[in-house]
Structure 1
Amino acid sequence: MCNRSRLPERTLEVHNVHHEQDIHYTMQLCRWVLKPIGIWHLIYGHPSQNEKLTSIALIVACFSALCFVLIPAGLYTLFREKDINVKVKLFGPVGFCLTSTIKYCYLGARGAAFGNCIQHVENDWRVVRDQDHRTIMLRNALMGRRLTTLCAIFLYTGGLSYHTIMPLSSTRRINENVTSRMHTYPGYDLFFDPVASPAYEIVFCVHCLFALVTYNITTAACSLAAIFVTHACGQAEILMALLGDLVEGKKSKGTVEKRLTVIAKHHVRILRFSANVEEVLREICLMELVASTLIICLLEYYCMTEWKNSDAVAILTYFILLISFTFNILIFCYIGELLVEQYSKIGSAVYEISWYNLSGNKARNLVLIIAMSHYPPKLTAGKFFDLSINTFGVVLRTSVAYLNLLRTVTQ
């Protein structure tokens, strides 16, 4: 990875000789999903002139693809379509397009804040001294990579099948002896004939490009959240390792006072990082929570309606999408639970050390760390909900409640 931090490198004393490889390993998948949508160079480092032009071109192309789908399909769904069942069937994909566009704009608008969090992660890799601490960070980085990979696999499998297999395998409609080919998103008949060649093929390709853009945006948001939270969990583990060495000082040199100073600084640093991560992710988490609740509800409805129609391809596609979106919100709830759980262990780690061998004044310095562990940082959805496994259960229950309401309205 190119080493381009916003802060001059001389301000940091580099202790990890493998920091470039470690940073590359941590941020690799995130960079892969952010570069194609033009966001990476907005949030990372100081891009060159060519990189700026490339990012601008990619952003224009991606935003054009989003608008190409959102505007015609949105107008068609809201104003032209009169059948309530068809409207409901279009609300899901059009709503996902709208939330993806909002997330895309948010990623670009908050690029500096995301960049600061990435810079913090890189600085932690540069200053890590102990090999055991580096191993802890690598293990948590691997967890972040696995969560990103799983999110991408589920989203791309379901999304691309919806945008390719369904329109290609759908039954052609015959109206007045005229064969009509179906598009994933309607509304283009106001501007041109969308079923004539080569217009049909062009629109089909743009829809596939649109699918890649939207699922890249969702995967990028998940990747950033997973990387930041797993990194914070790794720093909490390192803090517990430092606490375990506080009394005896087998690995750390210096007096107990110096080791206490290192522990206090490290604790404050990870608390600030966690607060910054929560601040930069809260809006994205809120959009993910609300959108996933509604889309899961709609996908459950689509599976039920297609079951009545005996459309095996549509049932399978919607079911894969249902699993994809369910797993996506599960990842966000899981990393929120992981953050709280890891920080809550700090209090127990303090009590389990040989604190009774310290003098009274030094032992009292640990009380604040124990007290802080009772108020762990949390990943929230717009400060309205804490992301946890319990929240995931609430999402599923709410989606089923909305499904019952939707069935009542459409019957």
Structure 2
Amino acid sequence: MRATSISTSVELGLRFVGIWPGLPYGTFTWFTYMTSLVVVMYLEYAYIFDHFDIDNISNLIDALSIALACSLGFLKLISLWSRRRIFYDILLAMDEDWSDALDRDRSVLSVMSSNANLSRRCSNVLISINTTAAVCYAATSFTRHSAGFKENLNDSLRVLPLKMQFPFEVNASPLFELLAVAQFLHVVSIAALVAMINCLIITLVLHVSGQIDILRRELLTISCNEHQSQRDSIITGIRLLITRHQRIITFSDNIEELYSDIALMQFLSNTVVICCIGFTIIGSLAKDGATVVLLKSAIFYVAVTLEAFIFCFVGEYLSAKSKSIGDAVYESLWYNMTTAECRILLFVILRSQKRLTITAGNVMDLSLEGFTTVMKASASYMSVLHAMY
């Protein structure tokens, strides 16, 4: 097994956009891909402004939801690139934790390996879900075009996977086929990269939770002895545990700094996008071809909702794990220790009362309560749009 918590799929995604440390042409790769995203977003928003028609609001909202999702991925990559130094520090700390685990007993390595395997499975599942959603969204456009083409044999019915406003005619072959393939690859790549960023925060939180589990186990196994020499070694061991606790706090603070702005963008974007997709699904129920639209939007809706849930769940999970450190200290054999030893452990309990958390732009903590807030707000806006339409 690879001595790292980062899955191969996440590492490949970071290499693809040039963020992984040590790449020979990382900056060039980064600017090349980001330039392509800028061109795509310009064409998408040009279509929205050119086709801004309230009478055809379903088409407008469909185009807007995809443009916002693409913009969110663009802003996430910008934020990750601007804080790549913090990301490199996190990777270095993870490598140090794995090196330390390889030098200790097998139980420590077992805890870290279990969390690493879980993060790899989650990464593969989430990337697969996002990629499947992108493929289904693009494929339904081709399905709708094929059905209409068979009925009317009219080239004007050709529909690209993404709604874009091009400055030239795109219906002629082979230009249409080339653009369709390019859009399909773009949709799949941005969906996979957005999933990769979501998987990365899961990996980091699972890694730090593994370190907390190791710290809790060592706190519970603190033993006491009457001999002064062994008591001195106990105090030394407690101080070492405090140092490891501080490393966990520093690691968590780095995650917070790396993902705080990304989480805020995720909350704002998901509220609007979930509202738009939900409105598209409701509006298509009474129209012809509802099955295609439902297939196109339902998987996309699940993928976007899952993104918001992931961020909220990992924040809740990290907070719960951090508070368990104080419980582990209380459950240790502190009543057999001297006053000086108990005083040292008391500081650990006091520090663990300030839970570790991830915030959305330092505005609110990521929690399951925050997820319900996003869903309620999206449902409210969707009801308003449906009533107006």
What's the TM-score, normalizing by structure 1?
Answer: 0.86
Q: Give the stretch that moved more between structures: 284-293 or 56-65.
A: 56-65
1:225 corresponds in structure 2 to 201
1:103 lines up with 2:105 in the alignment: no
Alpha-carbon distance in structure 2 between the residues aligned to 1:383 and 1:147: 27
Alpha-carbon distance in structure 1 between the residues aligned to 2:369 and 2:154: 54
Alpha-carbon distance in structure 2 between the residues aligned to 1:178 and 1:161: 23
Alpha-carbon distance in structure 2 between the residues aligned to 1:372 and 1:91: 46
1:179 corresponds in structure 2 to 156
- Are residues 113 and 88 of structure 1, via their aligned partners in 2, closer, same or farther at CA, if it must alter by over 3 Å? same
2:126 corresponds in structure 1 to 151
Contact 2:119–2:206 at 8 Å: present in 1 too? yes
Contact 2:44–2:164 at 8 Å: present in 1 too? yes
2:297 corresponds in structure 1 to 318
2:91 corresponds in structure 1 to 118
- Paired residues for 1:272-311 under 5 Å: 272-310=250-288, 311=290
Contact 1:100–1:218 at 8 Å: present in 2 too? yes
CA RMSD of aligned residues (A): 2.3
Equivalent residue pairs, number: 378
- Are residues 180 and 356 of structure 1, via their aligned partners in 2, closer, same or farther at CA, if it must alter by over 3 Å? same
2:248 corresponds in structure 1 to 270
- Are residues 33 and 177 of structure 1, via their aligned partners in 2, closer, same or farther at CA, if it must alter by over 3 Å? closer
1:188 aligned to which of 160, 165, 172 = 165
Alpha-carbon distance in structure 2 between the residues aligned to 1:242 and 1:178: 70
Alpha-carbon distance in structure 2 between the residues aligned to 1:360 and 1:341: 29
1:399 corresponds in structure 2 to 378
Contact 1:296–1:326 at 8 Å: present in 2 too? yes
2:135 corresponds in structure 1 to 160
Contact 1:282–1:383 at 8 Å: present in 2 too? yes
1:7 corresponds in structure 2 to none
Amino acid at match of 1:144: S
1:35 lines up with 2:6 in the alignment: no
Amino acid at match of 1:77: I
Contact 1:37–1:216 at 8 Å: present in 2 too? no
- Are residues 387 and 164 of structure 1, via their aligned partners in 2, closer, same or farther at CA, if it must alter by over 3 Å? same
For residue 365 of structure 1, report the CA deviation from its aligned partner: 1.0
SS at match of 1:22: coil
Alpha-carbon distance in structure 2 between the residues aligned to 1:111 and 1:277: 12
1:94 lines up with 2:87 in the alignment: no
2:330 corresponds in structure 1 to 351
For residue 178 of structure 1, report the CA deviation from its aligned partner: 5.9
Alpha-carbon distance in structure 1 between the residues aligned to 2:173 and 2:203: 45
1:9 corresponds in structure 2 to none
Structure 1 unmatched ranges of 5 or more: 1-17
1:257 aligned to which of 235, 244, 254 = 235
Taking only the aligned residue pairs, the percentage that are identical comes to 23
Contact 2:311–2:366 at 8 Å: present in 1 too? yes
1:385 corresponds in structure 2 to 364
CA displacement 1:107-134 (0-9 Å, x = unmatched): 2222221111111111111112222111
1:13 corresponds in structure 2 to none
1:70 aligned to which of 26, 36, 41 = 41
Alpha-carbon distance in structure 2 between the residues aligned to 1:313 and 1:140: 40
For residue 80 of structure 1, report the CA deviation from its aligned partner: 4.3
Alpha-carbon distance in structure 1 between the residues aligned to 2:356 and 2:7: 23
- Are residues 234 and 254 of structure 1, via their aligned partners in 2, closer, same or farther at CA, if it must alter by over 3 Å? farther
SS at match of 2:170: coil
